[in-house]
Amino acid sequence: MHGRLQTARSIDEVIQIHDFFLQKCLKECLLLLPELLMKVEKLKALCLQYATSIQLLIPSIEVAAAESKSKSGSSRARAKRSQDRDEQLKLASENVVMSQSILKFESEFNAELQSLVPTLSKSSQAEPYLTHLAQCILGVGIDQ
C-alpha cells in the first residue's frame, strides 16, 4: 500500500488504494468468511485448552525430576524412598490421565481440522489466497 500511495496523483486515487487495502485485509483475516472464521476460532480455542492443560502438567514433571536427582545412598534417603515411590505412582497415574487428555485434544483438533478442509477447499476456489492455507492443512507440497 505504501508504494502505491507514493505514486497516487489525486485524493481519489488515495481513497481507492486505501479501500483496496481494507478489502484485502478483511479477506486475508477471514472476516468476510464467517464459517471459516468460526472453524479457525474453534481450532484456536482447542490450542488454548491444550496449552493450559500442559501448563498444569509441567510442575508435576519438574517435581518428579527433582526428586529423582535428590536420591542418595544415605539411610535418611532410604526412609524417604517409600514416600517418593508413593508420589511417583501418583504422578504416573496423573500422567496416564494427562496422556488420555492429550490424546483427546489431539483427536478433537484433528477432527476440527478435517472439518475445515471442505469449507476451505470450497472457499479457496473463490478466493485464491486461501489456496496456500488449504495446502498447508492438507500437507500438499510439504517435504517431510
Residue 73 within a domain: no
User: Do the domain assignments include residue 131?
Assistant: yes
Q: What is the DSSP string of 2-68?
A: HHHHHT--SHHHHHHHHHHHHHHHHHHTTTT-HHHHHHHHHHHHHHHHHHHHHHHHHHHHHHHHHHH
103/91 Cα distance (integer angstroms): 18
Whether residue 86 sits in one domain with residue 18: no
Contact partners, residue 101, CB within 8 Å, separation at least 6: 53
Quick one: 9 and 59 in the same domain?
A: no
Range(s) of the domain holding residue 59: 34-65+79-143
> Is residue 74 domain-resident?
no
- Is pTM beyond 0.85 here? no
Per-residue pLDDT of the chain (144 residues; tens, 9 = 90+): 888 888 889 999 999 999 999 998 888 787 888 888 888 899 999 999 888 887 776 665 555 455 555 544 566 666 676 677 667 656 656 677 777 887 888 899 889 888 887 887 777 777 777 777 777 777 755 454
Residues 3 and 42 in one domain: no
- Cα–Cα nearest to 129, from 42, 36, 38, 7: 36
Q: Residue 13 is placed in which grid cell?
A: 486515487
46 lies in the same domain as 101: yes
